[in-house]
Amino acid sequence: MDQPDNPSAQVPRQYVTGMGYYCRRLHRQAVAELAHLRTRKDPTGNLARYYEGMSLRAMGLKAMASGRWDEAESHLRSAIKCIGRNADLSDYLAASYACTRRFDRCTRQAETSAELRSDDPAAWRRFAQAQWQSGRRAEAHLTLRQAVRRLDQTAGLYIQIGLFLGAEGDLGGAAGAFTQAIEADCTNGDAHYYLALATLAGGDVVQAAKGLQRALELRPTDLMLAYQLAKVAHAAAERGTTLILRPFDLHPLPGRSQVDQLARYVTVEGDFIEAFLALPRSPVDEELFGLLSGVLEVALADHPDYADLQFHFSRVCQRLGRTLEAIGHADQAVRINPRFIKAQIHLAELYAQNGQAPLATKHLRQAVSAGADWADVHCRLGEILLAAGQPSTARWHLQRAVQLNAGYDRATKALSAMAA
């Protein structure tokens, strides 16, 4: 047992305590606890950093709402330093754990006739960017104007026009293009953001703050946006202008923007899920494992015949307390691969916990037949059979456990109790 002065003994306490503070919205206390784990490179450290960053974000937004600009900037700057600009859990996990994915280099021939006939606004933007980068700026503008006339989805095209105009120093023209982008799609966060920057460059901090706040409402996990809003509002206050900011969502729900990427990752990296399942239980289990459940659903939609994905999904469901669903996925895993020992043992435990002793013993025996002639498996079989009123068969398995491992106290004590 770890001694009190052993730093490793404090990890579960600091993790669980910090998560508890976060869920109770005691953000300052959460930061104090979780900061002890920020140098760790394992899942405990990665999640501690994420929720430390989210706590700093909440503290920054609270300070901003109260007009404490220096404090707001400090907390938001610390949040960005902690987890980067994106406070989305799925994005963060993808960046932290799926960064080993290989991306094939792809060189697009932007000026081919096929590209020009495309109905994809992004293709036109890429073509215009290629022209711009090659020094053909007038042609780049013409390409975008042509695309605006041809296509319905024009917000992104107007944004690109505004970016080109801004780069040329035409702030008024840029602001006009960004306004057209908002008129085309009022939910486009980029359009509001770039319009805010254009108006800020023109010296209008009030309109800039309004634009940044609208952009932040559309992209609530963007920490850099929050930081920039704090700086702009601070500048307005120093000029004697008091801005009234609308309330912020301090605890946005995790997004799904990187779920597909994570699903591809867990399909080939089973250790990813195992690492999270090894974490001590904490108050954020529902948020974390709810996200992982969604990731595995996406992965299984593409690969329903992967026994390991079914097994991992079962364990995640078990962590979330969804026992019947866990049994269903574990059963699928052993149907796909009857010699999947870990899945057989896991399914047996689920049945045992659900009061279905015959099915539990069936799957433990199948595990033994598949190669799990192990002391702990025989001991567990003996315990379940004994509880089910089958002492003679239970004794045999307990004796087999002791035969395999003479120092196995659990089996020895069970046999002694039967003899008493």
The pLDDT score that the predictor gives to residue 114 is 31
The position carrying tokens 């895993």 is 333
Structure tokens, 244: 């009234």
Pair 350, 378 in one domain: no
44 within some domain: yes
CA distances from 346 to 71, 353, 361 (A): 50, 11, 12
The pLDDT score that the predictor gives to residue 154 is 84
List the domain range (segments joined by +) for residue 167: 113-220
Q: Domain end: 198, 220, 242, which one?
A: 220
Pair 411, 339 in one domain: no
342 within some domain: yes
Q: Domain end: 38, 69, 87, which one?
A: 87
Pair 67, 121 in one domain: no
The pLDDT score that the predictor gives to residue 42 is 83
The pLDDT score that the predictor gives to residue 27 is 95
Pair 390, 347 in one domain: no
pLDDT tens-digit profile, the chain (420 residues): 333 444 444 567 889 899 999 988 999 999 999 999 988 888 888 889 999 999 999 999 999 888 888 999 999 999 999 988 878 888 788 776 644 333 233 223 434 433 444 677 888 888 888 888 888 889 989 989 988 888 877 888 999 999 999 899 898 999 999 999 999 888 888 899 999 999 888 888 888 888 898 888 888 888 888 888 888 888 888 888 777 777 666 555 545 456 777 787 788 777 888 888 988 888 888 888 998 998 899 899 989 999 999 999 999 999 999 999 999 999 999 999 999 999 999 999 999 999 999 999 999 999 999 999 999 999 999 999 999 999 999 999 999 999 999 888 999 998 888 876
Q: How many CA atoms lie within 13 A of 315 on its CB side?
A: 21
Pair 65, 12 in one domain: yes
Pair 348, 378 in one domain: no
The three-state secondary structure class of 197 is helix
Overall number of domains in the chain: 4
Tens-digit pLDDT profile for residues 361-396: 999 999 999 999 999 999 999 999 999 999 999 999
**Bridge partners, residue 86, by sequence:** 222
The pLDDT score that the predictor gives to residue 152 is 76
CATH number at residue 177: 1.25.40.10
Pair 168, 198 in one domain: yes
The pLDDT score that the predictor gives to residue 10 is 57
108 within some domain: no
- Measured between its terminal Cα atoms, the distance across the chain in Å is 31
Structure tokens, 269: 């990296």
Pair 130, 170 in one domain: yes
350: closest CA among 327, 331, 328, 319? 327
The pLDDT score that the predictor gives to residue 376 is 94
93 within some domain: no
Structure tokens, 237: 């206050």
Mention every residue, 6+ apart, whose C-beta is less than 8 A from residue 381. Answer: 361, 364, 365, 368, 394, 397
229 within some domain: no
The three-state secondary structure class of 222 is strand
pTM of the predicted protein model = 0.67
Tell how far CA 36 is from the center of its chain: 22
385: closest CA among 341, 418, 408? 418
Tens-digit pLDDT profile for residues 1-55: 333 444 444 567 889 899 999 988 999 999 999 999 988 888 888 889 999 999 9
